Structure 1
Amino acid sequence: MRRPASVTAFRGPAVWLWRWRRNPLRRGSDVLEAWLVLAVWVLIVVGGVLTGLAATHAVERGMARERAEWRPVVALLSQDAPRAAAARVSRPARVWAKVRWTGTDGSPHSGLARVAAGSPTGTAVTVWTDRDGSVVSRPATASEARTRAAAVGALAGVGVGVVPFTSGRIIRGCLERRRMAQWDEAWARFGRTWGHKTG
C-alpha cells in the first residue's frame, strides 16, 4: 500500500538549519545531507575563488612576460602579396604573405605575416617576434591583459565550482530516493494498522 500523493508533496514550512537541530524525527541521512551541503558550498566558494584568482594571476604573468620579451621588427616582403578577392569599403583587406628580416644577432629569418593586399615585393612591414625569432601576434596591452585574465579566471572559477555542485546534486538525489524508499517501506508496514481499533 503506497502513501497518498498529498503526503509525498507535503513538506511543511521551511525551518532554517533544521538538519542541525536535535529532533527525534531527524534521520541519519538528514545529518549526512547537512554536512554534504556544507562541504559542497565550501568547495564551490573556496575552490572556485582560489582557482579563479590563480588562473587570473597566471594569465596576467604570461601576458606581462610576452610584453617584455616580444619585440617589433621591420621585415620586407619576399614576394608580392596576393590581391584581395573582393574590395572592402570599411577597411583595407589584409592577407598572409611571406616576409624576411634580420634578427638582432644578424641571422636571417623568414615567416608569414598579415600585410595589405596587393603590396609589392620589398614593402616594409612591422612584425612581432619572440625570443627565438619566430613571428608572433602583437602582445596584449596591459588593459587587454587584465580583461582577458579576468575572463579566464571567471571561467576557471565557475568550471571548478560546477564539479562539486553537480556531484552534490547527484548525491542528494540518491539520498532523497533512499529516503523515499524507506518511507514507502514504513508506510507499507504501518499503514495497514491505521483504522483498526487497538483497544
Structure 2
Amino acid sequence: MARTSRAHVTTRPLWRWRHNPLRRHSDVVEAWIVLAVWTVTLLGGLLAGWAAGQAVDQTFAARRAAAHTVSAELTENAAEGSPVVAGYDVGKVWVTVRWTAADGSTRTGLAKADPTSTTGSRLQVWVNHGERLVGPPPSQAEATFETVMTAALVAPLVSTGVWGAGWVIRRQLMRHRLDEWDAEWRQIGPQWRNFSGGKG
C-alpha cells in the first residue's frame, strides 16, 4: 500500500506530460507555460539583475572618465564662505577657489572646504573636460555597492513580474478548462442520469 502511494506522489507532478485519456490540450499548454515561467523567472531574473548592475557600473565608469582632479587655491578664508546645509558635507563651507586649466588659463569656481581653511590653502577639486567644477564621482567601492544593490533589487522584481504574468495566464486556462468541463457535462449529464435511472 505504501509503495503504491509513493509511486502516485512521484508521478503526479508530471501527469500533464504523460499520455492518458484524461489529458486535454489545455493541460499540455499549461505544462509548457509552467516550465517557461519557472525558467524565465529564474534565469530571466538573474540576467535582468546582471544587466541592470552592468548598466549602473558603466554609468559610474563614464562619470569617472569624464572628470579629473586638479589642485585649486582658496582665494578667501573659509570662515567667510557660506555653510553647506545638505548632503554628506554638512559642516563644510562654500568658498571661491582658483586653478589652472589644461590650456593654461586661470579658472575660478565654488568648492567645498573645511571651515578652518585660509586664503592660499590648496585642495583637490574635480573638473570635467570643459574645466567646470563638478562633484566627485563615486569611488570604485561605492560603484560596486550600488551595482550589487541594483542587481539584487531588479532580479526579484523581474522574477515576480514574470511569475505574476504566468499566474494570470494559468487562471485563464483554468477558466477555459472549467468551461470545457461544463460543456461536456451538459452533453454527458443527461445520458448519465438516464443510465442511472434505468439501472435503478
TM-score by length of 2: 0.69
Counterpart in 2 of 1:181?
A: 179
Unaligned runs of 5+ in 2: 1-7
Q: Partner of 1:113: helix, strand, or coil?
A: strand
Q: Does 1:19 align with 2:16?
A: yes
Tell me which of 10, 26, 29 is aligned to 1:29: 26
Q: CA deviation at 1:28?
A: 1.0
Counterpart in 2 of 1:105?
A: 103
In 2, Cα distance between equivalents of 1:176 and 1:96 = 66
Cα contact 1:40–1:165 (8 A) shared by 2: yes
How big is each residue's C-alpha offset from its partner over 1:99-127, in whole Å with a ceiling of 9 and x where there is no partner? 44332222343444334458777664432
Counterpart in 1 of 2:170?
A: 172
- Closer, same or farther: CA 81–31 of 1 in aligned 2, 3 Å: same
Tell me which of 117, 128, 131 is aligned to 2:129: 131
Q: Partner of 1:17: helix, strand, or coil?
A: helix
Counterpart in 2 of 1:157?
A: 155
- Closer, same or farther: CA 111–198 of 1 in aligned 2, 3 Å: farther
Tell me which of 26, 42, 47 is aligned to 2:39: 42
Cα contact 2:83–2:90 (8 A) shared by 1: no
Look up the equivalent residue of 2:48 and give its one-letter code: T
- Closer, same or farther: CA 147–69 of 1 in aligned 2, 3 Å: same
In 2, Cα distance between equivalents of 1:52 and 1:140 = 20
Q: CA deviation at 1:76?
A: 4.3
In 1, Cα distance between equivalents of 2:107 and 2:38 = 54
In 2, Cα distance between equivalents of 1:65 and 1:83 = 30
> What is the 5 A alignment of 1:35-74?
35-67=32-64, 70-74=67-71
Unaligned runs of 5+ in 1: 1-11, 86-90
In 2, Cα distance between equivalents of 1:121 and 1:142 = 32
Cα contact 1:78–1:99 (8 A) shared by 2: yes
How big is each residue's C-alpha offset from its partner over 1:149-184, in whole Å with a ceiling of 9 and x where there is no partner? 122223333343344323212211111122223333
Q: Partner of 1:197: helix, strand, or coil?
A: helix
Cα contact 1:75–1:99 (8 A) shared by 2: yes
- Closer, same or farther: CA 98–33 of 1 in aligned 2, 3 Å: farther
Cα contact 1:81–1:120 (8 A) shared by 2: no
Identity %: 38
- Closer, same or farther: CA 156–110 of 1 in aligned 2, 3 Å: farther
Q: How many residues align?
A: 183
Give the alignment's Cα RMSD to 1 decimal.
Answer: 3.5
In 1, Cα distance between equivalents of 2:84 and 2:140 = 33
